[in-house]
């Protein structure tokens, strides 16, 4: 199930932009000195059960490159114009795409994500997206985890030196040859009797703690 949402026809100019961004990301990430903590344990867990890999919206560039051509990986991406571009980049990297936003294709996207998780697939999502508030987990990923019993794997990601865009999410772009750190946390499970509000707090605290650890690591 590689393609769940019918691709939109993109203007030639946008297609060229996608290819330029794709090649630029590949070239940039090739120079980055990336260390990933707890990668073997995480790969083993999601290889057996599938699950949700989550990090903040502004830190998604390195995951896109890391999961290139990984079978069974899908990105949950909003229906915005920025989402159109991001979805095409995910496709260039050989990953599946699920499109959905609050009020736009939300029900279909929910069904698609639940189906993927029940089949043991992996869904990458950014729980503070698509509009924020930055660094605060919304309920979507937690609902998926609660419905399916699949784990959420939180991650903190940082790089230095870097650029940070002026967007709401302070999107991080490593500078060439930057040091980068990606730290996976312990899996988070949401039981049927736990409130989503409680789970949101747990997830927010977990990602922010990992984010601070990654930030400290690249600056020492």
pLDDT (mean) for 58-64: 95
Main-chain phi, psi angles of 149, to 5 degrees: 75, 10
CB within 8 A of 159, min separation 6: which ones?
32, 62, 172, 174, 175, 178, 179, 180, 181, 218
Instruction: Reply yes or no on whether the pLDDT at 148 is more than 50.
Output: yes
Instruction: Please indicate whether residue 196 or residue 85 has the higher confidence score (pLDDT).
Output: 196
Are the CB atoms for 24 and 125 separated by under 8 Å?
A: no
pLDDT confidence band for 3 (50 / 70 / 90)? very low
| pLDDT averaged over every residue in the chain | 93
The domains located in the chain, with CATH, are 33-218 (3.40.1130.10)
pLDDT for residue 8: 58
Whole-model pTM?
0.91
């Amino acid at each position: 199930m590689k393609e769940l949402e019918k691709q939109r026809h993109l203007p030639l100019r946008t297609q060229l932009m996608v290819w330029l961004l794709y090649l630029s990301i590949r070239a940039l990430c090739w120079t980055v000195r990336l260390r990933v903590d707890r990668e073997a344990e995480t790969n083993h867990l999601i290889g057996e059960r599938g699950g949700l890999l989550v990090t903040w919206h502004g830190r998604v560039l390195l995951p896109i490159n890391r999961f290139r051509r990984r079978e069974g990986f899908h990105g949950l991406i909003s229906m915005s114009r920025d989402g159109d571009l991001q979805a095409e980049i995910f496709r260039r990297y050989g990953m599946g795409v699920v499109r959905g936003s609050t009020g736009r294709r939300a029900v279909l996207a929910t069904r698609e994500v639940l189906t993927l998780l029940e089949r043991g697939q992996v869904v990458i999502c950014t729980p503070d997206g698509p509009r924020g508030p930055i660094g605060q987990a919304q309920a979507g990923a937690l609902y998926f985890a609660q419905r399916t019993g699949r784990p959420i794997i939180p991650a903190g990601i940082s790089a230095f030196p870097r650029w940070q865009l002026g967007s709401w999410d302070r999107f991080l772009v490593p500078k060439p040859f930057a040091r980068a750190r990606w730290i996976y946390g312990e899996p988070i499970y949401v039981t049927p009797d736990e409130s989503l509000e409680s789970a949101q707090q747990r997830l927010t605290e977990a990602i922010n703690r990992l984010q601070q650890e990654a930030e400290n690591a690249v600056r020492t």
